[in-house]
Amino acid sequence: KNQVEQSPQSLIILEGKNCTLQCNYTVSPFSNLRWYKQDTGRGPVSLTIMTFSENTKSNGRYTATLDADTKQSSLHITASQLSDSASYICVVSVSGGYNKLIFGAGTRLAVHP
């Protein structure tokens, strides 16, 4: 069964600190993995996309990694800001021409001053 599991469910950190969010998936065949940021009361917004051959991709203070062998991805946030408070959703796309995206339940991050 295609699944995407994210951990932790929620996380509280202090402003300026770093954090890492995890995404494990059992999706096959794998096409790509995308991280979205969802602010409260808004729709998700894409942060980064990674294909099978990519190990690391950065978008400002956000760095995503992908280990296709272990089927794990992480999103690292550096020097957190209050505006990073949001839910972060891992989405894996199934290959083969399907219109299939498997969504994780998200990690809710709260950055406190």
Partner 1 sequence: EAQVTQNPRYLITVTGKKLTVTCSQNMNHEYMSWYRQDPGLGLRQIYYSMNVEVTDKGDVPEGYKVSRKEKRNFPLILESPSPNQTSLYFCASSSRWGARATARSPLHFGNGTRLTVT
Using CB under 8 A, list all residues that contact partner 1.
Answer: 4, 31-32, 34, 36, 41-46, 48-49, 89, 93-106
Q: Which is nearer to partner 1, 6 or 80 (CB)?
A: 6
Least distance from C-beta 19 to partner 1, angstroms?
A: 21
Residue 32 or 63 with smaller CB distance to partner 1: 32
The residues, any chain, with a CB within 8 Å of residue 19's CB and separated by 6 or more, are 11, 13, 76, 77, 80, 109
Q: Which residues contact 20 (CB under 8 A, 6 or more apart)?
A: 74, 75, 76, 77
Least Cβ distance, residue 15 to partner 1 (angstroms):
26
